């Protein structure tokens, strides 16, 4: 449940606070306090979260708009939705419209800071030292008759202790800086399994300097030939640390064609993203991502796309390391207030098959301590499924939305993915994720949402 309260003093000044009660599974206690609590007998879980809290104001005698606080920030995309950054974050955003054709948006976001301490080998403890992650971006939206184009660029400074917390000194320390972090950043800002030598053993180097990350993109759409619509999105990203083996860089491009009919919007689309080569010592050739926690327009299940229930990201949080082609019928309507969207996607991996041996070995290989045991080990630098050039998936999805009342929506979402992973011995044949019983099973999901909004 989400509740947004707006306090509007004037057109030039307002404040917003946005509360959320997160996912609660009926019958699950969840510990009584925190996310997911309060679903068991007796209820009374403490689970109210502050999703956003910010103020909006306009600089006097100008048209410069300012937003300060915890807010939703997303990089632009006219195709699938951004694959780099879309999430709630603390920061300041500025927006200025020069004229009806040219605008400018800038933001500073503080993703992490002051989250713990660590102890050196000599026993000295550092608190909140070089542990910030700050992002700065510029967007230049251009809008003309029948054409919209937005070039953008973003830089992030990554403190070597941004995610370290109180992790130990001993052991493999090459990715221990990220030890306390899960989710998008841990998967999107590092190579698979962190920093490794060419034989797959850990480099074991601890970072001491700030990392530098840079992204640039160009996205746009052409609607001048209505009812035709053409949209594109091209992105490049590069993140470097003082250990060159931890570098991650690559690009992703997508293209969308649509034709608007009275009863539906048929569309054809495709994307390609660079993948890793077979040398772990030179880092990763996949585009880095910070937190693409938005709604993917190409997939409700394979990637991060479900707007209501988080039963998605089966193949990946983003589309990096994959290619795909798809077709959809969007917003089909044969009855009043009832819409359907059907999609089919053919998805493949762009990562080298040679990387699989560093992931599916498990235990000790060439003297390396390796916790990864298969294509979906959920390790550092990995999306839910690491797809090589020998892996393919075929996704079918049907989303049905019924506007029962003006403020009440019922959504039925059904998805199925047929998967074919390369089970040869040199790829995933040695996977030990489930021991000797390792199997490949097709994921599917059916969910029903009741949404009241006002």
Of the pLDDT bands very low, low, confident and very high (cuts 50, 70, 90), residue 342 is very high
In the chain, % of residues over pLDDT 70: 85
Provide the residue count of the chain: 454
Asked whether residue 238 falls in the same domain as residue 251, the answer is yes
Asked whether residue 104 falls in the same domain as residue 242, the answer is yes
**197 three-class SS:** coil
pLDDT in tens, 373-432: 556 555 678 878 889 999 999 999 999 999 999 999 999 999 999 999 988 888 887 776
Question: At 336, which CATH number?
Answer: 2.40.160
Asked whether residue 109 falls in the same domain as residue 173, the answer is yes
Query: Residue 201's closest CA among 368, 359, 361?
Result: 368
Q: Are 287 and 301 in contact, with CB atoms under 8 Å apart? A: no
Alpha-carbon distance values, 241 to 209, 211, 381 (Å): 7, 4, 14
pLDDT of residue 306: 73
pLDDT in tens, 256-311: 999 999 999 999 999 999 999 999 889 999 999 999 888 899 998 999 877 777 67
Q: Are 2 and 19 in contact, with CB atoms under 8 Å apart? A: yes
Asked whether residue 134 falls in the same domain as residue 19, the answer is no
Asked whether residue 311 falls in the same domain as residue 171, the answer is yes
The residue among 32, 58, 84 that closes a domain is 58
Number of domains in the chain: 2
pLDDT in tens, 169-207: 333 344 444 555 556 787 899 888 777 788 777 776 777
Asked whether residue 54 falls in the same domain as residue 187, the answer is no
Per DSSP bridges, beta strands 291-292 and 48-58 are unpaired
pLDDT of residue 70: 97
Q: List, as one string, the DSSP characters of 279-313.
A: -GGG-B-SPP-SEE-S--SS-SSSSS--SSS----
393/373 Cα distance (integer angstroms): 20
Average pLDDT taken over every residue of the chain: 86
pLDDT of residue 170: 34
pLDDT in tens, 120-155: 666 677 677 788 899 999 999 999 999 999 999 999
Average pLDDT over residues 8-23: 91
Asked whether residue 77 falls in the same domain as residue 182, the answer is yes
DSSP 206: P
Asked whether residue 105 falls in the same domain as residue 20, the answer is no
Query: Residue 321's closest CA among 382, 365, 369?
Result: 382
pLDDT of residue 40: 82
Alpha-carbon distance values, 126 to 195, 309, 386, 449 (Å): 24, 40, 36, 47
Query: Residue 150's closest CA among 65, 91, 64, 232?
Result: 232
The residue among 58, 91, 106 that closes a domain is 58
Query: Residue 98's closest CA among 57, 55, 76, 65?
Result: 65
Neighbours of 232 (CB within 10 A): 17
Which structural domain range is residue 49 located in? 1-58
Asked whether residue 23 falls in the same domain as residue 104, the answer is no
pLDDT of residue 81: 93
Asked whether residue 49 falls in the same domain as residue 64, the answer is no
Asked whether residue 186 falls in the same domain as residue 297, the answer is yes
CB neighbour list of residue 48: distance below 8 Å, 6 or more residues apart: 19, 20, 21
The residue among 43, 58, 73 that closes a domain is 58
Asked whether residue 229 falls in the same domain as residue 177, the answer is yes
pTM above 0.85, yes or no: yes
Per DSSP bridges, beta strands 408-420 and 392-405 are antiparallel
């Amino acid at each position: 449940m989400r509740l947004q309260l707006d306090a509007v003093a004037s057109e030039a000044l307002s404040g917003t606070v946005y509360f959320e009660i997160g996912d609660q599974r009926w019958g699950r206690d969840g510990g009584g306090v925190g996310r997911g609590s309060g679903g068991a007998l007796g209820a009374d879980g403490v689970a109210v979260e502050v999703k956003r809290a910010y103020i909006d104001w306009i600089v006097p005698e100008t048209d410069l708009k300012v937003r300060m606080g915890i807010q939703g920030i997303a990089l632009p995309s006219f195709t699938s939705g951004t694959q780099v950054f879309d999430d709630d974050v603390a920061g300041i955003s500025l927006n200025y419209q020069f004229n009806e054709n040219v605008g400018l948006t800038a933001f500073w976001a503080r993703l992490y800071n002051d989250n713990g301490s660590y102890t050196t080998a000599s026993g000295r403890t550092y608190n909140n030292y070089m542990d910030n992650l700050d992002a700065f971006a510029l967007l230049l939206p251009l809008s003309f008759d029948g054409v919209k184009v937005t070039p953008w660029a973003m830089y992030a400074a990554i403190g070597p202790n941004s995610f370290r917390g109180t992790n130990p000194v001993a052991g493999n320390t090459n990715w221990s800086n990220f030890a306390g972090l899960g989710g998008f950043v841990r998967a999107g800002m590092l190579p698979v399994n962190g920093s490794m030598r060419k034989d797959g053993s850990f480099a074991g180097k601890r970072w001491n300097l700030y990392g530098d990350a840079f992204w640039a993109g160009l996205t746009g759409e052409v609607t001048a030939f209505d009812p035709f619509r053409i949209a594109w999105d091209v992105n490049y990203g590069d993140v470097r640390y003082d250990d060159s083996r931890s570098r991650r860089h690559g690009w992703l491009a997508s293209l969308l064609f649509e034709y608007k009919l009275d009863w539906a919007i048929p569309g054809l689309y495709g994307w390609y993203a660079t993948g890793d080569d077979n040398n772990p010592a030179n880092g990763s050739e996949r585009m880095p991502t910070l937190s693409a926690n938005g709604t993917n327009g190409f997939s409700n299940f394979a990637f991060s796309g479900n707007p209501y229930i988080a039963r998605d990201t089966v193949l990946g949080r983003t589309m990096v390391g994959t290619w795909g082609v798809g077709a959809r019928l969007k917003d089909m309507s044969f009855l009043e207030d009832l819409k359907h969207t059907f999609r089919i996607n053919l998805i493949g991996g762009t990562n080298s098959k040679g990387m699989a041996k560093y992931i599916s070995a498990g235990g000790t290989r060439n003297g390396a301590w390796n916790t990864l045991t298969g294509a979906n080990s959920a390790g550092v630098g990995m999306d839910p499924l690491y797809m090589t050039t020998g892996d393919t998936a075929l996704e079918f999805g049907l989303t049905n939305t019924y506007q029962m009342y003006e403020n009440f929506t019922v959504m039925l979402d059904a998805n199925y993915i047929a998967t074919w992973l390369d089970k040869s011995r040199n790829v995933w044949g040695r996977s030990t994720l489930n021991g000797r019983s390792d199997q490949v099973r097709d994921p599917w999901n059916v969910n029903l949402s009741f949404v009241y909004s006002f």
